[in-house]
Each structure stands twice: as structure tokens, then as C-alpha cells.
Structure 1
Amino acid sequence: MVVMPAKSTMSNAPNSYKNDLALASVKISAQAASTPWLDATKPYVPVFQEQYGTHLTPNDISTYYTLTESGQAGIEYATNELHALFLQATEYVLAHENEVAPYFHIPKALWPKIQKSFRSSKNDTISGRFDFALTENGIKVYEYNADSASCLFECGHTQDQWSKVVGVDKIGRSSSNTLFDQLVAAWKSKNIQGKLHFLCDNDHEERYHSLYMMSAAQAAGIECILVVGVADLHWANPRDENSFVLDRQGNPIRNVWKTWAWQTVISQYEASNGRTENVRVMDVMLHDQVRVFEPLWTVLPSSKAILPILSQLAPNNSYLLRASFDEAIVSTFVGGYVAKPVMGRTGANVSIYDSNHKLISATDGKWDQDTIVYQEIALLPKYEDDKYVQVNTWAINGHYGGTVLRIDESNIIGLSSGIHAMRVISNPKH
């Protein structure tokens, strides 16, 4: 695989470093813990409370983090630049499908749909999340979750509400207080015709993220319907192969925002033996006449298979970690490397090796037989609480929208990793 390098735009760009982020703590007062800390009149809050409770714990010493203004400028710039770069890499993949498609493990029959999706829905992105490590040498990007809503609600709502209740909202400023308004603006720009269905599984996190996003779409003037699961969906005409899918009330589903990952749909497609009487997720999301957010083409920038392509497309980009499908190349990686499966999700089946190729840490999962991407190492920084911190930034409609932090005792972030608030503060005076 040979990729022609793109021109570098990194000279004199702002950046963000490990020392820009710092640990802070606050004691939860009895007053702060005496009433629910979130406004339950907002439709997404009760679902969040079902899982995490309504009150803070009094006298608990809670941690949060601060980021310097220069560090904030760095991650905003990086988010915007990287969104454009991942889009460029996606265009490269689609232009060289015959050469690179096998690395993505996507059925051949779906590639025409991906090509069509990009042609017709290139601008149909609402939100995508980057995973960053703030190293001593600046920002390093692990991957782009262009097809995920995980942590969006926490970024745009709970971290600022928590900061307000515990009294740290007067320390610096928020990094994400415009995120919801940006979502509203994004939905307004999409010119949705008809109703917009929000599809999610019967899971607390999926439901509150759906309701949060749905509130933004409603604020944009769009008529929205929440659909939990697919049991109530049915075919308008079971005998017609091109039949629309209808919701419980008989409304045709023409526009969809979903929490289901495209990789889940692809797995369902691979296991399918044709159309079934009962409507499946794939029947909705792969329907030729359904407009889906995030669109099908986002499966490409979300795939770890894009990383080696990026590495060759922009070899001098300081945000990128060198990556390859060839294990032999790890001998040229300084400091060690990470091995992760193309199909892997939520930190599963990730192995980290030091400069001597000795295993530092690893996670289990179901993708142990998958194609592996080898990526140059950039370990997450560890702070005074002996925790590793990953910086996750959101691109809303292709532009920076906010930051949320994932914290763990392990250097591999997973589903159970904590989420902590962050405040942006002035640069220290020297």
C-alpha cells in the first residue's frame, strides 16, 4: 500500500502538552449534596439518574482537572485539523477501494452503499469524538470515533452542572458550554424533511444520549420520535422488497439518528440470509431511502484500518502516531508500540509493548483473531492521583465543540473508565 503524502499544515500551530493539564480537588459540601444536582425536568436527566443516582456524596473529596488556555487552543486546533485530515483519508480509501478495502473487513456488497453514502451524505455528520493523549511532545491522536455518541451528554451537560453545584464553575471557564447550541445549529443546517426517528437499544446510556441529542433536534424545530429497540417496527408492505419501515404509530421511517454502531449493522448483515419478517436494525439503517446520522461512510474514519493510511498520507503530521499493518515495522518505532484489532471497540483486545517488545498491559475481548494494526506508542499521561487521563474532544458538524476526560488506573481506557470534569484556566504567569 503506497499513499502519496499530503502537504503539512502543522508549522507554528498551537498545541497542548501534558503539563497543560493539572489535577485539582474539591470537597462536596452538605449543601451541595442536599438536593439533586441535575434538573430532572429535562427529559434526558431522569434516565441518567436511574443509573447514577440523584445526589452527590457529602464530604466526598472529588477530583477534577484544569487545562491552560494555551492547551485549550491546542486541542481546538487539533480537533478541527484532524477532522479534515480523517475526511481526506476517507476520500483516499474510496478512491482506492480495490487496493485498501480488504483491510476494513467490510462485505464487498456494502462498498457501493458506502460510496453512495459519501457522495450524497458527505456533510451529514453531527458529532464525532477524538481520543487524544497529551504527551510531553504535544497532542497524539489514537483514533476518531466518528460513529459514536458515548460521552457526548457528559461533555455537554453533566460536567458543567457538576462544576456549578460543587462551586468550581467560578474557576476558569467551561470548554463545552456551547456544545448544545452547536448541536442545534448542526441540525438546522441539515434541512430534515419529515420526522426524525432516534433509534437506540434499551440501555441507560443509549437512552439518555438519544434524549439529549433529540432535545437539540427539537430545539432546531424538527419533529422527533424516540424508538427504543426494534420490536415495534414493522414493514409497510411485507411483500415488497423496497417497502418502508413503519414505527408503532404507522409513521414511515425516513430520517434516523442512532446509537447503534455501523459495525454492529455490518455484523448483522454478514450473518443475514436475506430479508426476515421481523424488522432488524440493518433493515432500517441500510435502507436506500433512509437518511442516517451518522451516515454509513463514517464507518471508514472510525475504523482502525484508517490509521496506517493516515500515517502514509500525512507522515509529518505531529498529531499522528505512525501505524502499519506490517508487524515487522514495529522495530522502527521508538519507545514501543500498541497492537489493536481493526474491528475492536471499547478498548478490547489491545496490547501495549515497550521498546524491548515486552508486554506492558493487555485487555481481553472477542477480536483476538482480527487483523491487527500496529501503532507507535504514546502512553497516556499519569497525574498526582496515580490515574491515567485521556482527553476526548468533540467535533460538532466538523468543528470543535467540547472536551471530556476519561480517567482510569489502567492505561487502556474502556467502558468502565471514569469521567471527570475539566475547567479551562489562564496560563500561569512566569
Structure 2
Amino acid sequence: MQRIVLSPRADWRSKVEALGLVYHTTDGKPYWNESAYYRFTSRQIDEIEAATNALHAMCLEAAQHVIDHDRFAELGVPAAAIDAIKASWEAEPPSLYGRFDLAYDGVSPPKMLEYNADTPTSLVEAAVVQWRWLEERFPSADQFNSIWEGLVEKWTELKTGGYLLGSPVHFTHVKSTEDLMTVTLLRDTAQEAGLITQGIHIHEIGWDKNARRFVDMRNQPIRTIFKLYPWEWLIAETFGQYALATYSQVQWIEPIWKLLLSSKGILPILWELYPNHPNLLEAHLGRSREMRYYVKKPLFSREGANVTIKDDTGLTRSEGNYGEEGYVFQALAAIPNFDGNRPVLGSWVIDGAARGMGVRESDGPITDNLSRFVPHLFE
């Protein structure tokens, strides 16, 4: 695993914008950073793929354990959501995608930092933009990236297998450029599979109190909907009670059982079920006295907010508005440092299988909304 410095393409901005990455710069600094790339060997890619598949399988076992042993409270799951989670788990509704964040140095086994199982982003840059960069700059090399193909295959299976409740398939998100482009990519893959799609902002979804159903702006019923909106937010809102009460009438993608995996409370469960597993870091709901260096994370959070890191330099904290549900303590991972650049791998799971990855690097120990996306290849 190497970080290679090179000159960016002269017209990189217009090229990535044409692919949908219009948010390529943050606060005057490139978010998309092609002044470097990460080079892996095929053996390392095989190791990342195998670790991702193993971790996903373990997470499913951990979710079953939580349900069987009624450990929802440890994950910060509201009591009102438990019945819907159980029903969703038993019904096995469609689940599309997720992203593991992994610490990896190319030598030691990849370590799971967390599982973004409900609303992962950085999809446009991972699935499309870095692939086009590879085709132009290194056409003879390869990349761990069949994300687009995996999404089309899954949508095709859902369409031809009759697994979707109705047409069109609605796609919803908040008014955010990044979320819009993420959902646009997902709609494109669904349309390539032959599905009819309809976009709607989350605040535009209506509730027909007479028919007791959700409706779109044309007052048409919503039967199948992809939501780029976290379950913990949705069920906390006024209309969340209706989403829970009518769960069997609407096909939510991702399904509500994914809340179990997106909660960082799943990390101590995994360590309990698979102690000392090479792809796991020690984790507990409270700090273990033996854990000298650690990361304190909220059960639910976004973009590295409200994280505390204890290492040999002292404490590093990030600000934010999360943590009300509680925290977990995870052993500090060994993130490699390439001249001040600290990469974290985002390994994508499509339909339960590893299909590609992206690399985000930070100047500091916490990956946040200013962390850069850097392309990769392998030889």
C-alpha cells in the first residue's frame, strides 16, 4: 500500500463536475484530491474484499443476537421501533447497500471502525469519478470497483423477481447537493435496470390521514421508497409514528432493521460474539480499564462529530450535536500516516457482497466532512 504523488489533470474540475461531483471543493480546498493516489497489490485487495464479506456476515449474526436477546436498548434503539425492526427482519425486505469504514495499512488485517449501513454517501466519487480517473490516467491498471454494476444487478433482481411493492420507486433526501447527487446516481442505476423512479424531498412526503398512507406531491401513494435519511431521525419526528404503524404497507430501502447495524452499539456486541477477531477492534459500552488508548463515539453520529480520541499525545475532540443516546469506547486503530495524510478505506457492500472501495484521508486523527477523497488502483 503506497501513496503516490502526481500532478492533477489540468481540467479535473470540469471533468468531475460532468460526472456529478459538483461538490469537489470545500472551503476553498479540494474534497476530490487527485494530486495523489493510493496503490495496492491484488493480494491486498483480496484481503480487503474478504474482510468486508466476513464483517458483513458477522454483523448479520450480531443483529440476530440483538433481536433474540432483546438488547435493543444497548444500541440506542427506541422501544417504539422494536416491533417494526423485528417484522422487517423476519420479512427480509430488499436491502441495497452499505459501507464499512476500515483501518488498513497493507500489512496488518483490515480493522472495522464502523458500518454505515443505513445512509452511506461518497458514492458518486467511489462508483464513477475515480473509475473515469483510472481510465484516463492509468488505463492498464485496475481498481476495486464494480459498485455501479452491483447496484444495477440488484435493482434488476428486485424488478424481475417481483420484490418491489409498486411503481414508481420513490427516492427521497434532504435539500443537500451531495445527497441529491447520491440519490441521482442510485436513480440512474435503477432506471438502467428498467425501473420507473420519482424523486421527492423528505419534507414533501405527505400523510393521507383518511387512507392512512404516505403520498407524494401528486397525492399518489408511496409504496416503495429509497430514503437517504437516517432511521433514527425519521422515527423521532412527528410522522415517524406513522412510518412505524404502517411499516408493512411501505417498502423502505434501506429497511428499518439496518438501524441495528448503523448504531455503533453493534461494535461491543460484535466484540462479545467474536472476541479477538482479526478484523475487529475491542469495543465496550463503557471504557475498559485495560484500554489505554481509545476512541469514544456516539451511538449515532455523522461526519466524525462528537468523537474523542485518547492517544499518546493526549485527548483530541470534535464538536457536534450528537451523543444523546450514549457512547461506545473502541480501541484506537492504527491508521497509517503518509506524510501527514491518514487514510480510511470505505469498503462498499452491495446486496451483501463487497463490490468496491474508496479512500478518504485526513490531516488529523478524525475523519470528518473536510476529509479528502483520493482515488486508488491496484496492479
SS of alignment partner, residue 375 of structure 1: strand
Relative to 1, partners in 2 of residues 1:113 and 1:369: Cα closer, same or farther, differing over 3 Å? Answer: closer
- Residue 393 in structure 1 maps to residue 344 in structure 2: no
2:53 maps to what in 1? 80
Relative to 1, partners in 2 of residues 1:159 and 1:131: Cα closer, same or farther, differing over 3 Å? Answer: same
CA contact (8 A) 1:106 1:266 kept: no
Matches within 5 A, 1:238-277: 238-240=209-211, 243-268=212-237, 272=238
Q: Distance in 2 between matches of 1:50 and 1:321?
A: 33
CA contact (8 A) 1:265 1:282 kept: no
1:287 maps to what in 2? 246
Q: How much does 1:179 deviate?
A: 1.4
Q: How much does 1:235 deviate?
A: 3.5
CA contact (8 A) 1:285 1:292 kept: no
- Residue 350 in structure 1 maps to residue 271 in structure 2: no
- Residue 163 in structure 1 maps to residue 134 in structure 2: yes
| 2:290 paired residue among 332, 343, 347 | 332
Q: How much does 1:369 deviate?
A: 5.0
1:67 maps to what in 2? 40
2:330 maps to what in 1? 375
2:14 maps to what in 1? 36
Q: How much does 1:219 deviate?
A: 1.2
Q: Distance in 2 between matches of 1:94 and 1:405?
A: 33
Residues 229-270 of structure 1: CA distance to partner in whole angstroms, max 9, x if unpaired? 423x3344x334xx22221233210001111011211332xx
- Residue 22 in structure 1 maps to residue 6 in structure 2: no
TM-score for the superposition, normalised by structure 1: 0.80
State which structure, 1 or 2, has the greater radius of gyration over its C-alpha atoms: 1
Q: Distance in 1 between matches of 2:86 and 2:115?
A: 20
- Residue 206 in structure 1 maps to residue 176 in structure 2: no
Matches within 5 A, 1:84-103: 84-97=57-70, 100-103=71-74
Unpaired segments of 5 or more residues in structure 1?
A: 1-20, 273-279, 426-430
Q: Distance in 2 between matches of 1:311 and 1:26?
A: 40
Q: How much does 1:360 deviate?
A: 3.5
1:15 maps to what in 2? none
- Residue 118 in structure 1 maps to residue 53 in structure 2: no
Q: How much does 1:194 deviate?
A: 2.4
What is the RMSD of the two structures over their aligned residues, measured on CA atoms?
Answer: 2.4
SS of alignment partner, residue 263 of structure 1: helix
Q: Distance in 2 between matches of 1:324 and 1:260?
A: 27
Q: How much does 1:401 deviate?
A: 0.9
1:18 maps to what in 2? none
| 2:104 paired residue among 108, 122, 134 | 134
2:274 maps to what in 1? 314
Q: How much does 1:281 deviate?
A: 6.8
SS of alignment partner, residue 198 of structure 2: strand
Q: Distance in 2 between matches of 1:74 and 1:284?
A: 40
Relative to 1, partners in 2 of residues 1:188 and 1:281: Cα closer, same or farther, differing over 3 Å? Answer: farther
Q: How much does 1:68 deviate?
A: 1.1
Q: Distance in 1 between matches of 2:357 and 2:311?
A: 29
1:234 maps to what in 2? 206
SS of alignment partner, residue 187 of structure 1: helix
| 1:361 paired residue among 304, 316, 319 | 316
CA contact (8 A) 1:149 1:209 kept: no
Q: How much does 1:52 deviate?
A: 5.1
SS of alignment partner, residue 292 of structure 1: strand
Q: Distance in 1 between matches of 2:88 and 2:176?
A: 28
SS of alignment partner, residue 27 of structure 1: coil
Unpaired segments of 5 or more residues in structure 2?
A: none
Q: How much does 1:346 deviate?
A: 1.9
Identity value in percent: 27
CA contact (8 A) 2:76 2:325 kept: no
Give the aligned residue type for 2:265: A
SS of alignment partner, residue 156 of structure 1: helix
2:151 maps to what in 1? 183
SS of alignment partner, residue 415 of structure 1: coil
